[in-house]
Structures are given as structure tokens and as C-alpha cells.
Structure 1
Amino acid sequence: MKPYFETVKSFADVRVTDAGVDTAEFLEASDGLVQLFDLLGTGVFGFVQSDIRGNIAGVRSRFEANKEASSTLEDLVRKEARERKKDATACLVRLTRGLSFTCASLQNMQSDTSAELYACFKRSYDVVLSHHHSFIIRSVVGVALRAVPRRPDFYARIAQGGDVAQLDVALARWLAGLHVLVGRISKFLEDGGYGRV
């Protein structure tokens, strides 16, 4: 099997122009993110995967309905706003939250190499997502976070037998691209009054 980062589109390769973030490429990279959660283990992040899949589907549905007017995420949101609709925009807001959580968690993992993964994910959850969730959801998430695999197991799953040092380089590049996209999309949504990430 090939290492994970050789099988999915990297967020670092999603085109960004003056017009905005390429919608099709962004959706393709987001699909790859769902596969990353599969590597964490069955059911560990089922709630995140389900949410991300649903939000990708919501944005994709709008994109597929009018590709020309939705070629960038920014165009998609503006067009929906002109039509006084918010379905895909709401999905993009929630998807961006999920991407932000993932990005922060994996950045924590890379910067704090002595911490167990569940601690890295918990720190990120507390900052990025917990204030969007009810007490019950926060409790469910707390239990799920405890099921995150150990760092060596996670790396082995992503590397798929490849070199872990090369994996770290690919992960850093993927995260840098994701970080830029999340920041850009969040700022656009908030500045335009389309939704707060």
C-alpha cells in the first residue's frame, strides 16, 4: 500500500487565485481528509467523519448545480447570498470548523512530540469546537478522544510501510496548505457576514 499522502490531494495543492479557492480541488482534498480519519481507527471519529461528509456533500451539491458560478468557494457563497440562501454556506462554515480542528490537532501533534495524540486532539477540540457543542456532545467527544490511537500506531497507519521521516515532511506540507486555506476561508466568511467559524 502507498503512504496516505501519496493517495490523496494535498491541501497544499489546492489552487488559490485572486478569485478565490478552487471549489473542485478544495472538495477533492476534503474528501481525502475523511480517509485520514479512517486511519485513526473504526469509529473513533465517526461523529467528525459524518459531519465532514455531510458538509462536503452540501457544498458539492451547490457546486454541481452550477459549476461556472461556483468555481471558487467565494463565488459559491456570494451567489448563494444573492439568492438569499444559506444551505451550502452553512455547510462550508461547519466544514471549515472541522478542518480547523483537524489542522490544529495535527499541528499540536507535530509541535509537541512527547504528548500522546489524545492530548493533542483534546487541546484542539477545547479551543476550536467545544464552544459550538452542547454538554452532551462534549461528553461524547471526550470519550471518543480517549480512543485515539497511540502516536506510533497512528504514524504506522499513515505511513503504510513507508518512511516515517518522509511522512513528517508530507504532513507538514499538507498542514501548511490546510492552515492557509482555513485562515483564508474563515476570514472571508466572517468579514462578509456569511457565518462565523
Structure 2
Amino acid sequence: MSVSVTYFDTIERNYSEVSITDEGIDTKTFLEATEGLVKLFDLLESKAFVFVKSDMSGNIKKIRERYLINTIENSTLESLVINEKVEKKRKATEGLLWLKRGLEFTAAALRHSKNNKDIELKVSFGNAYEATLKKYHGIFVVPVFTLAMGSVPPRATFFKNLGEDEIKIEEQYEIWLQSLEKIVARLVEFYIQGGHDKGF
């Protein structure tokens, strides 16, 4: 009997494997897990999400470049941002801020979809966009995202693309999503408490 391979089996790092300590969120494993999340947008089968993927990948690159300058001092996302602030730099801090916002949007859309199995995916993504990202976007960006939300495939197509074993998918999806939500909540609190989101 062949074992059904799911999307969650193919990613390099699961959010559940990202270390979170008193010092913060491990930078290396967070970046690896988020690269896996970017690939999730391929399962939505819409060219409109090319912009979303490009934006997230660009922000991942900014954070990784800062991390590689000193992997020990920048071992957590929090220390990376604080070290940049000391140097009066903002590149990675801004990249992480926008990535955080993108993850908030994605987590909200996927949670709504998982908890409301009778609602189509485009509704979940549309509602999540209105509640999270839209307020940060200008008049030229909103139409791009609105187009992407409207082109989301039926939820049945998306979940089929995640894998064939529905029971396995259900379990993996929940673990992955809960872990993502935990990370997002911690980042949101960190940016608010530290005032690192000012000016963006």
C-alpha cells in the first residue's frame, strides 16, 4: 500500500518545528517554514498570486540577508530587529513587518476556511484581506489583491491539491496552522510593544 504524500510532507520545515524560546522565534527555521508557506500559493492555481508570492519571497530575502551577517547575534527574529534598531537600520525590520502582515492574512484566511467548511475559499480569503492587509495597501495595490482573492479556486480543489488522504490532511493542517498562528501572535505583540511598526 502506497503512502499518500501531502503538501505538508513536501515542505522543508513545518511551523511546528520552529523553535520559540524566551529569547524569541528562531530565525533560520522560521525562514525555512515560511518558504514552504509561499509554495502553498501554488496550490491556489491562480497567476494573480504571483505578486503575493514575490512580495513574501522578497521579504524573506531581506531577513535572511540580515541573519547571515551574524547568525549568532541574529539567531532570533526579535534579536535581529533589535540589532538593526541599534544600528539605525530598517531593511530587515520592514521586511519582517510586511511578512508578518502577509502571514496574518494567510493564517486568517486558512483558519476561516477550515472552521467554515460550507463557505467557499474566495470568501474566506476576501474576508481575511479586508480584515488584515487592505488597510496597509494603496490604490494601486488593492486591485491586484482583489483580483487574486476573486480568482481563488473552489475549496474542494484546494484541499484536493493538499493531498488525497483527507484524515491525514486534517491532522497535519491543524498542527501547521496552530503553530503559524502562535508565531504570528508573538510577532504582532513584539512589534506593538517595541513600536517597531512605526512609519510603515
Is the structural similarity TM-score above 0.5?
A: yes
2:117 to 109, 113, 116: 113
Is 1:2 equivalent to 2:5 in the alignment?
Answer: yes
- How many angstroms does 1:48 deviate by? 1.0
CA deviations 1:111-142 (Å, max 9, x no partner) are 11111100000000000001001233222222
- Secondary structure, aligned partner of 2:47: coil
Q: CA RMSD in A?
A: 1.3
Is the 2:103–2:184 contact (alpha carbons within 8 Å) kept by the matching residues of 1?
Answer: yes
Is 1:102 equivalent to 2:88 in the alignment?
Answer: no
TM-score by length of 2: 0.94
1:157 to 153, 158, 161: 161
Residue 128 of structure 2 is matched in structure 1 by 124
CA distance, structure 2, for counterparts of residue 42 and residue 137 of structure 1:
17
- Secondary structure, aligned partner of 2:65: helix
Is the 2:25–2:78 contact (alpha carbons within 8 Å) kept by the matching residues of 1?
Answer: yes
Is 1:180 equivalent to 2:182 in the alignment?
Answer: yes
| Corresponding residue pairs, total | 195
Residue 137 of structure 2 is matched in structure 1 by 133
CA deviations 1:25-44 (Å, max 9, x no partner) are 00000000111011111413
2:172 to 167, 170, 173: 170
The aligned amino acid for 2:180 is: L
Pick 1 or 2: higher relative contact order, CA cutoff 8 A, min separation 6: 1
The aligned amino acid for 1:184 is: R
Q: Which runs of 5+ in 2 are unaligned?
A: none
Structure 1 ranges of 4+ moved more than 6 A: none
Residue 70 of structure 2 is matched in structure 1 by 66
- How many angstroms does 1:165 deviate by? 2.1
CA deviations 1:79-104 (Å, max 9, x no partner) are 10110101100000000001110000
1:81 to 76, 79, 85: 85
CA distance, structure 2, for counterparts of residue 100 and residue 116 of structure 1:
19
- How many angstroms does 1:186 deviate by? 1.2
